[in-house]
Structure 1
Amino acid sequence: MDLKELQQRFAETRKLPDPVYESVVRALHDDMRALFVGKLSVFLSCFVIWYRSGDPLLLTLSLLIVSAGILRLWATLRFHRNVGDKPTRAELSRWEVWYNAWGAAFVALLGLFCFTTLARSSDSIIHLFAISMMMAYIIGISGRNFASEVVVRSQVAAASIPISLGLLLFGDIYHAILGLMLIPFFVALNSISSRLRQMLFSAVLTAMDNKTIADRFNVALSNVSHGMAMFDTDANFAVVNSRFAGLCGLDEDTELVGTELDALPEKGAIVETDKGPLTLREVLQKCLHDGKHAQFNHLLTDGRVIEAKYNPMESEGGVLVLEDITERVNTENEIRKLASFDPLTHLPNRRFFMAEVNRILGGVDGLDPCTVFFVDLDNFKDINDTLGHTVGDKLLCSVALRMRSSMPEKAMACRFGGDEFVVVVPGRVPRKECTEFAERLIEEISKPALIDGNQLIVGASIGIAQCPANGNDYSQLLKVSDVALYDAKARGRGCYSFYTEELGDIIRDRRHLENDLRRALDRNQFELHYQPLINLAENRITAFEALVRWNHPERGMISPSLFIPIAEEIGFITQIGKFVLETATRQCIQWPHDISVAVNVSSLQFQQSDVCSVVGAALAKSGLSASRLEVEVTESAMLENVEETTATLKRLAQTGVRISLDDFGTGFSSLSYLHTLPLDKVKIDRSFIENIQTDERSLVLLSGVTHLAHELGLSITIEGVESAEQMEILCSKVHVNEMQGYLFGRAIPAGDVAELLAIGGSSDVINDRLAVN
């Protein structure tokens, strides 16, 4: 009897017979646990996809999917609680409508989620999760709901159309091919469901008057998507579906109907029980003997995990349903792994690692000793910024592998975050062994790594703390090892440091200084001092360099060499830089119109703020002409992002602001900067003139650099002139436009600038200095 004949047979009443229809509706609502697990897997997959992408729209859809799934589970639960043994046709019809409605809503939301994932993300991992989740769910639709044509077609369409459309619209040929390939697959699922529906309806209609066959049909209808076997009163196989043999570890074409349990293999399918591992045959024999419900998992030799459910029947015998849950188990394991391990390096994450370390510290008999090594990679940020996060991630994986190979037995490591790692060695470790391990770890990490054709070298700095000497819990040990790490990095990178109380005092003082620095701006503790620049052609002061000073209420005047590096480390340099620009321009406008001011802009200001906007706002607020402001930029600022910094300097130059390259010679001294940047001036560092009185080569080098700059049309300023002898040599043998240094005056408060200008602003400054010295 084919499907057309079945349709003709039911055409008269336009409905299935009541017993068949009841079985169909019950089958749709059966297996609450499988439905719950399926929904849970979908929920977790959706939130994993959202967590990786960070897309708020995916989070919204995930919450809607969870809501629809919960309502669907609630409706199924209500069915089991409210439907009795003999429901009416109208009651069953109402429950079928609710099932179709909630199922369609859930699948439509899931399809929209997958379409959104493909449309808004190019992450291949996210695509893999989304497509795998949807494919698994669609297959489940066909297998679980094939008894209802409306349910299968509507849900398969609601799921398949969005994912195929998303693949076709993604924008590359491979996704489009995959989207086209899925279309016949979805069509085939409907065809398979139709064939299954034809087989089952035909069987139940031809045996409708046979109660035993009807009972077997009801059970089979609920479980036929999995492996299924029924046993008669003599414990022989009475009914076996096509998948059962394969899920028992046999060939799928093995004939089992009419055979005894002995036909199952003695080895292969292993079931873990409280009495140890047993074969599947042994467990089934016990189930048939006891006549009780049972559920267990068995493992095949090929690694597949099969879930088995045994249910006794009223007419004696029983039914065994097998389901391949390998993918579900693997997904659950992967979810557990994601919750406990860093997905990049596969090291334990911070939360899991902290729990493990606290367990070690607790011990059996109280506090157990251990040593914590806090590892921070040197120069990793430069590699990540210049070569990209993909290369940086691969480098982190390489470092993690090297750490594992270098660690002592029983030691544990975790990725603490970014380029930081923590290693814990249980037990009492002598200081010498800690030193040897730290040196070995630094040596291994510092070896060159070949990543995507780039030979990369990073170093490592390590802070070391020991329990119980430096702390009794993980948080305290982590805190003090971080203090030791700070000290190690201050020593010049590639170093390690043990925590001591004295070191803690130093770091605490440093932290107090950091806190005071954050509040210094609001408390008006910063002030500007100005050092004069002497124009040799005009023989007078023509500009001042603005130098910031911190007048601490308790510590007195703090050197910029101390607080500027701290400000850069804590990200406070942009606020100080803005203050310097605004103050310098405001004070400069009170000076004679032919006196300008020079302000240094650090490399971090170029990275962390819009320098053009800050300079423009300072000029507009003060009313100072742009031609009277000189922005000094160091060579280190060039190295961070040459193209972006060059573009910023060009925009500044277009406004009329003068640009000078400060401290030339202290960085990479790349002469390419002299013709690629929009420079007006080059400031030669004091290191060039320290030995010009005695070292002829220093003078030749200085002369060559200044000559080249002069040929390029650049003004030249020599910094650090401290003696009359240096000045005489520079004036006679080197082409220079300006000088700056203690010979002409130290930096003075803003209030003394007017007095200095009155004394030396237009007099013969150079001759005065020569006469004095």
Structure 2
Amino acid sequence: MLLTGKYQKDSRLGSLPLEVYDTIVRSLHGDSRTLIAGKFATFIAGLLAAYKVGQPALYLTVTVLMLVGIARALHIMRFNRLAEQSLNYIELKQAELRYRIYSGGYVGMLGVMCFISLATTNDQIAHLILISATLANVAGITGRNFASLSVVHVQAIGVTIPLVLGLLMFGTVYHALLGCLLLPFLLAIESIARHLRATLLEATFQALDNKTIADRFEAALKNASHGMAMIDRSSVFVVVNACFSELFGLKDGRDLVGTSLCELTSEARRHMSISASSEHLLSERIRQCLIAQERVQFTHTRPDGATIEVTFNPMNEGAGVIVLEDVSARVKSEQEIRQLANFDPLTHLPNRRYFAAEVKARIEKDGGDAAFSLFFADLDNFKTINDSLGHPIGDKLICAVALRMKSCLPEDGHICRFGGDEFVIFLPGMTGRHECERFARKMMAEVAKPVLIDGHLIIVGSSIGIAICPDHSNDFDQLLKMADLSLYEAKSNGRDELFFYSETLGERARRRQELEVDLRRTVHKGELQVHYQPLFDIHTNRITCCEALVRWHHPTLGNVPPSDFIPMAEEIGLITKIGRFVLETATAECAKWPDDVRVAVNVSSLQFQQSNVCDVVNAALSKSGLAPDRLEVEVTESSVLNDLHETADILRTLADRGIRISLDDFGTGFSSLSYLHQLPLHKVKIDRSFLNSIREDKRSLVLLSGICRLAADLGLRVIVEGIEEADQLDILKKQVHIDEAQGFLFGKAVPGRAIRQMLKEQAEPKSRPKLKAVAG
């Protein structure tokens, strides 16, 4: 029995909640018309008995009885008027008290009438009338007043005492026995009343519990975010909430209880809230689920685009519960997640993973008959555009290029953004070299058209690598690698080119892969070598510095040129290890040389990006014991260009330690002259390209002389590298201001022991080397 929640106990009512007490009091005051009729009959019986015996006392008690009966009836009618509204505890308590007084007084007067009649007269007719009327009213005590034991007790005591006394005083044994027999009768009435009261309370509590459950269910149903309905085995709705109607597109708030499923779906279709196909789907599937008593879940899309998920749960006796949920937001989120997972967020083209899965599925479907071509496209010099105009413009350019490439595709073609500025195109059925080249040229021409972005007129070229199935391979991943190799070859041939895959290209790639494996193993074992090329002071004819150059002697290929393995090391992430190895080896070697000879070590742009250059240099100096002023750190213009401010900060830190800074290959980059005052430089190395035409072209000589003079005026030492012929040296000595010279004319790079021998000979005055060709 529920006594919690809404139906709480009231301490003033003992164990009864207010709602139960209200029910009890109302039951006492019910059916006033029957009560009045009974009281009128009792009054007539009392009047008849008084008339029969002519006893004035009886006339008086009958009159009092009538007045009490009238007062009781008026009280009941007044209470019923008040009871149309909710009554509080005090009002109920007062009503019960008045009822107890009136009802107790009424039956008490009946007992008094019997007592007067038995004690003062011997008229058996009068006795019979009054005792019969009294017992009739006593019988009604349980039927009318059982809800309140206090009322039953008052009435029972009020009528029993005078009636039993009257019977005992009559003086006969029979009357005395009758009086004694009335006592258990009245006790039985009290027991019956108590039992009926318990039954009433139990029913009342059960009704309240059911009401609580019903209220909670109704509140939950009303406030549920889902549409919920219950249908019987005939597909008729027995419970429906408002959200259910709304999700069906019925906005009129009509109660659907008693409506069949078919009627609902037809009405929804008339309101254009579901389509004809959805109407059939809903009604048929739910009807089948009712028959099979199976749980099912499916979705349907309304004409307004909303996605509704329908869940049917079977119940006993062939009924079921239907739950509707608007999952439009969830479906949209899932679509967005799929979009992010499968498509490039910038261009909205398929990404490489989704593209590969789709193409592989197409290849698998075609089986051994697959025939297609793959185009691997890349924009030329895109990084320069990004660096000079900014990434936002670069992103817009990527989008514009993607649209142009997509516009060139045939109807069954597919394109994806592979990453960065790279795109891959899949063209089924196109396998001829001529038609592939025609398509590629068309797309390259479309991409190369000028595009205006944020006020910048941009022209960008593209390079394309092509692989064909089945000519080159039947495997997608292998073809993708082949197309990538072809693209690399196209870009190596001058950009704005296309290149078909060939076995020669594949063989070259395999050799490169083998060379990469060998390079990794060589670096891991520390088998690279460091050679040193001397720099001569052009005034004293002495070696003042040696440039450290890394060399790789392959066991089967012989000497591998640095131009082959250094770019490879940068691509595969080995350049930082190699740079640290060269720096540690060179400083250790320089520590064995005379104190006036320095060593120069080149630091690449990737070393600035991938490692803490200052820490690496400091560690090498500490390990070798070399003085900082005997180390020269060479940087190229390309390494400075990546991040001028950060690079300048690093170089200033090194210069503050006493390390000398050189700008290598000066004159080959962008805005070269601006670096001369932005960087903490000590030396400038003029690139060998300035020497190519100084003998024939006077302007080249003037340009070289001007640059050297400018550097000297800024307090920088000037070195010219790449001197290979004696007449070049003569021109430089006579017409150009330089401090040091380097090149094959003076000697190639040699191992450390050879440099030590040269420096030893230099220390002997009679054998001091001259500025002329050195052996080797």
TM-score, length basis structure 2 = 0.65
For residue 272 of structure 2, what is the aligned residue in structure 1?
268
Which one-letter code corresponds to 2:510 in the other structure?
A: R
Aligned residue for 1:542, secondary structure, equals strand
> Does structure 1 residue 747 correspond to structure 2 residue 752?
no
Note the aligned Cα RMSD (angstroms): 4.2
Deviations 1:82-105 (Å, cap 9, x if unpaired)? xxxxxxxxxxxxxxxxxxxxxxxx
> Does structure 1 residue 541 correspond to structure 2 residue 543?
yes
Cα distance between partner residues in 2 of 1:619 and 1:753: 20
Structure 1 position 237, deviation (Å)? 6.6
Match runs of 1:221-370 below 5 Å: 221=220, 225=224, 226-228=226-228, 240-253=240-253, 261=263, 263-266=267-270, 268-270=272-274, 278=279, 296-309=298-311, 320-364=322-366, 366-370=368-372
Structure 1 position 637, deviation (Å)? 0.8
> Does structure 1 residue 680 correspond to structure 2 residue 688?
no
Which one-letter code corresponds to 2:248 in the other structure?
A: C
Deviations 1:614-637 (Å, cap 9, x if unpaired)? 111111111111111111111111
Q: 1:638 aligns with which of 619, 637, 640?
A: 640
> Does structure 1 residue 769 correspond to structure 2 residue 752?
no
The alpha-carbon distance between structure 1 residues 520 and 220, as it changes in their structure 2 partners (threshold 3 A), is same
Which one-letter code corresponds to 2:303 in the other structure?
A: T
Which one-letter code corresponds to 2:243 in the other structure?
A: R
The alpha-carbon distance between structure 1 residues 445 and 10, as it changes in their structure 2 partners (threshold 3 A), is farther
Which one-letter code corresponds to 2:274 in the other structure?
A: I
Q: Which moved more, 1:615-624 or 1:287-296?
A: 287-296
Structure 1 position 656, deviation (Å)? 0.8
Which one-letter code corresponds to 1:577 in the other structure?
A: G
The alpha-carbon distance between structure 1 residues 744 and 313, as it changes in their structure 2 partners (threshold 3 A), is closer
Q: 1:605 aligns with which of 604, 607, 610?
A: 607
Cα distance between partner residues in 2 of 1:214 and 1:13: 21
Aligned residue for 1:421, secondary structure, equals strand
Contact 1:536 1:737 in 2 (8 A): yes
Contact 2:231 2:238 in 1 (8 A): yes
Structure 1 position 320, deviation (Å)? 5.0
For residue 561 of structure 1, what is the aligned residue in structure 2?
563
Which one-letter code corresponds to 1:241 in the other structure?
A: N
Contact 1:589 1:622 in 2 (8 A): yes
Contact 1:361 1:370 in 2 (8 A): no
For residue 191 of structure 1, what is the aligned residue in structure 2?
none
Contact 2:268 2:274 in 1 (8 A): no
Which one-letter code corresponds to 2:377 in the other structure?
A: V
Question: How many pairs does the alignment contain?
Answer: 580
Match runs of 1:692-703 below 5 Å: 692-703=694-705
The alpha-carbon distance between structure 1 residues 596 and 243, as it changes in their structure 2 partners (threshold 3 A), is same
> Does structure 1 residue 465 correspond to structure 2 residue 467?
yes
Aligned residue for 2:618, secondary structure, equals helix
Cα distance between partner residues in 2 of 1:296 and 1:521: 61
For residue 79 of structure 2, what is the aligned residue in structure 1?
none
The alpha-carbon distance between structure 1 residues 254 and 661, as it changes in their structure 2 partners (threshold 3 A), is same
For residue 476 of structure 1, what is the aligned residue in structure 2?
478
The unaligned stretches of length 5 or more in structure 2 are 20-203
The alpha-carbon distance between structure 1 residues 719 and 211, as it changes in their structure 2 partners (threshold 3 A), is closer
Cα distance between partner residues in 2 of 1:771 and 1:520: 31
TM-score, length basis structure 1 = 0.65
Aligned residue for 1:478, secondary structure, equals helix
Cα distance between partner residues in 1 of 2:228 and 2:386: 55
For residue 24 of structure 1, what is the aligned residue in structure 2?
none
For residue 690 of structure 1, what is the aligned residue in structure 2?
692
Which one-letter code corresponds to 2:572 in the other structure?
A: I
Deviations 1:480-527 (Å, cap 9, x if unpaired)? 223223322332444332111111111111111111111223445422
> Does structure 1 residue 756 correspond to structure 2 residue 758?
yes
Cα distance between partner residues in 2 of 1:397 and 1:367: 35
Match runs of 1:455-534 below 5 Å: 459-534=461-536
Contact 2:431 2:469 in 1 (8 A): no
Which one-letter code corresponds to 1:326 in the other structure?
A: S
Aligned residue for 2:672, secondary structure, equals coil
Contact 2:534 2:742 in 1 (8 A): yes
Aligned residue for 2:596, secondary structure, equals coil
For residue 670 of structure 2, what is the aligned residue in structure 1?
668
Cα distance between partner residues in 2 of 1:415 and 1:642: 31
The alpha-carbon distance between structure 1 residues 278 and 16, as it changes in their structure 2 partners (threshold 3 A), is farther
Q: Which moved more, 1:647-656 or 1:561-570?
A: 561-570
Cα distance between partner residues in 2 of 1:352 and 1:768: 65
Structure 1 position 735, deviation (Å)? 1.7
Contact 2:709 2:737 in 1 (8 A): yes
The alpha-carbon distance between structure 1 residues 220 and 694, as it changes in their structure 2 partners (threshold 3 A), is same
Contact 1:532 1:745 in 2 (8 A): yes
Cα distance between partner residues in 2 of 1:366 and 1:216: 68
Q: 1:623 aligns with which of 622, 625, 628?
A: 625
Aligned residue for 1:722, secondary structure, equals coil
Cα distance between partner residues in 1 of 2:546 and 2:444: 46
Cα distance between partner residues in 1 of 2:489 and 2:17: 82
Structure 1 position 223, deviation (Å)? 7.9
Contact 1:244 1:252 in 2 (8 A): no
Match runs of 1:37-56 below 5 Å: none
Cα distance between partner residues in 1 of 2:499 and 2:482: 11
Contact 1:629 1:658 in 2 (8 A): yes
Aligned residue for 1:333, secondary structure, equals helix
Match runs of 1:446-461 below 5 Å: 459-461=461-463
Which one-letter code corresponds to 1:270 in the other structure?
A: I
The alpha-carbon distance between structure 1 residues 440 and 254, as it changes in their structure 2 partners (threshold 3 A), is farther
Contact 1:660 1:679 in 2 (8 A): yes
Contact 1:235 1:288 in 2 (8 A): no
Aligned residue for 1:533, secondary structure, equals strand
Deviations 1:203-262 (Å, cap 9, x if unpaired)? xx9995999998998698568623345678997776653333332223344565677726
Structure 1 position 768, deviation (Å)? 6.0
For residue 186 of structure 1, what is the aligned residue in structure 2?
none
Match runs of 1:167-246 below 5 Å: 208=207, 221=220, 225=224, 226-228=226-228, 240-246=240-246
For residue 97 of structure 2, what is the aligned residue in structure 1?
none
Structure 1 position 673, deviation (Å)? 0.4
Aligned residue for 2:651, secondary structure, equals helix
The alpha-carbon distance between structure 1 residues 344 and 555, as it changes in their structure 2 partners (threshold 3 A), is same
Deviations 1:664-702 (Å, cap 9, x if unpaired)? 111125211001100001111122222222322112211
Cα distance between partner residues in 1 of 2:234 and 2:298: 23
Which one-letter code corresponds to 1:506 in the other structure?
A: R
The alpha-carbon distance between structure 1 residues 264 and 567, as it changes in their structure 2 partners (threshold 3 A), is closer
The alpha-carbon distance between structure 1 residues 230 and 519, as it changes in their structure 2 partners (threshold 3 A), is closer
For residue 159 of structure 2, what is the aligned residue in structure 1?
none
For residue 720 of structure 1, what is the aligned residue in structure 2?
722
The alpha-carbon distance between structure 1 residues 448 and 522, as it changes in their structure 2 partners (threshold 3 A), is same
Structure 1 position 337, deviation (Å)? 4.0
> Does structure 1 residue 426 correspond to structure 2 residue 447?
no
Structure 1 position 455, deviation (Å)? 6.8
The unaligned stretches of length 5 or more in structure 1 are 18-204
Structure 1 position 726, deviation (Å)? 2.4
The alpha-carbon distance between structure 1 residues 422 and 768, as it changes in their structure 2 partners (threshold 3 A), is closer
For residue 135 of structure 2, what is the aligned residue in structure 1?
none
For residue 121 of structure 1, what is the aligned residue in structure 2?
none
Aligned residue for 1:748, secondary structure, equals coil
For residue 166 of structure 2, what is the aligned residue in structure 1?
none
* Identity percentage of aligned residues: 51
Q: Which moved more, 1:290-299 or 1:400-409?
A: 290-299
